[in-house]
Structure 1
């Protein structure tokens, strides 16, 4: 009987609110659920594209790919760390699609996020144009991707965008979305992946990996040469990454459940 009273007392104590128990969190309002994350995506993408474009426009020949690689990688790492708790720090349409497909966000936020990223890309490119000289801006084709010309290996460039976007998207999904592999180091991981991708493939495709990063400069400079490469490649790479992560997660869950049954 004493044991029964003790059990009932414990249950009653857990159900009764105490003064030390914090009040339940207020549910987020419409601004916090919709407008605040979209604003964070606009701001984050704006400054990422702005810093990235300036690094390309003002890049000196002696620096080669190192300067743009470090600038893009460090910029994305900083913005991801700052905005992660507000919007998830996507700043890239393929990231948003892949995160949705892996269950990391609701469907009704996909279109607003992508629209916000494209707006941010345009604003960032416009800021870069305002900051740099006309001569340097003209040489860099408005920081658009002039690397691909009629005689270029378009197939290799598309494949490069697919493969490299797949890699960085997998880092995002495994580092920030998947509960079994989530890591607080994800800003550093994504930034490093961007750096190594640009160092490896910068001379092949320009290493865009982000349609918003290509769309903004294309609008501002009215340069559309092979622009489709920077939509088809990154989008395909993001979808492949989502499929790989989803399938690997399901496989691991099945292996874990089978091993659990066997141990029992």
Structure 2
């Protein structure tokens, strides 16, 4: 059972060379991702009146996040696994694929990378606002929580199917682009309603730099619940050893 595989790890693990390199990799990958994703929204707002709230702005955001995440995962995959998302790290932890100690380092690195990316954007744009995620008019916090749960479920399920599952085979080669695609598609589906975060770190950086915390908890609770459901479903149903033993071909 997956839950029995959960590992806590030890504080000494954080000081190990490979763990520190993995943490640095997550920091850099998140910085790349947020700088491109958040920066695309800021650029669109600078060039147009409606900004990212227009249909064209939504498409631009989806493409920018899909492309940036593809790259961010690819450059970190061989070092840290290319999580680039605290919710993905949480899902990997629940499945026993990463220790709690290492997860904490990843979370700190991911959140720090997002904050630094937003600070760099603010400086590079001459003080433009890094817009925090917010709910659209008529969308309640519980509507948004459901959106985040479902979208993050799709994201983490894709991560498990293409990158974690030991039976993935050649599918693992396209894992970064598949994960980027599902994020881009989810932005097109939910971006108009709550911004389609699916990633607590992506929401955290802009919130810190703009110091806007309205309904911020939604972007933590939804993704973590969605991630947990996806991880446990995939682990219990598709990865856990089957008790069924296939009959030899000579028996039928």
**Coarse TM-score class (shorter-chain normalised):** 0.7 to 0.9
In the other structure, the counterpart of 2:167 is 180
Do structure 1's residue 108 and structure 2's residue 96 form an aligned pair? no
- Secondary structure (helix, strand or coil) at the match of 1:104 reads coil
Corresponding residue to 1:84 among 68, 73, 77: 77
Q: Tell me if structure 2 keeps the 8 A contact 1:98–1:241.
A: yes
Deviation at 1:83, TM superposition (A): 1.2
Q: Where in structure 1 are there 5+ consecutive unaligned residues?
A: 1-29
In the other structure, the counterpart of 1:27 is none
Mapping 1:1-264, distance limit 5 Å: 32-59=17-44, 60=48, 61=50, 63-134=56-127, 137-138=128-129, 142-148=130-136, 151-182=138-169, 183-250=172-239, 253-254=241-242, 257-260=244-247
TM-score by length of 1: 0.80
Q: Kindly report the root-mean-square deviation, in angstroms, between the aligned alpha carbons of the 2 structures.
A: 2.1
- Secondary structure (helix, strand or coil) at the match of 1:143 reads coil
Q: Tell me if structure 1 keeps the 8 A contact 2:151–2:198.
A: yes
Deviation at 1:189, TM superposition (A): 0.3
Q: Which has the higher Rg, Structure 1 or Structure 2?
A: 1
Q: Tell me if structure 2 keeps the 8 A contact 1:148–1:225.
A: no
- Secondary structure (helix, strand or coil) at the match of 2:197 reads coil
In the other structure, the counterpart of 1:8 is none
Counterpart Cα distance in 2 of 1:167 and 1:95: 11
Q: Tell me if structure 2 keeps the 8 A contact 1:54–1:132.
A: no
Deviation at 1:215, TM superposition (A): 0.7
Counterpart Cα distance in 1 of 2:205 and 2:111: 7
TM-score by length of 2: 0.84
- Secondary structure (helix, strand or coil) at the match of 1:184 reads helix
Q: Tell me if structure 2 keeps the 8 A contact 1:41–1:116.
A: yes
Report how many aligned residue pairs link the two structures: 228
Residues 112 and 167 of structure 1, relative CA distance in 2, 3 Å threshold? same
Counterpart Cα distance in 2 of 1:261 and 1:106: 39
Counterpart Cα distance in 2 of 1:115 and 1:70: 27
Q: Tell me if structure 2 keeps the 8 A contact 1:148–1:154.
A: no
- Secondary structure (helix, strand or coil) at the match of 2:81 reads coil
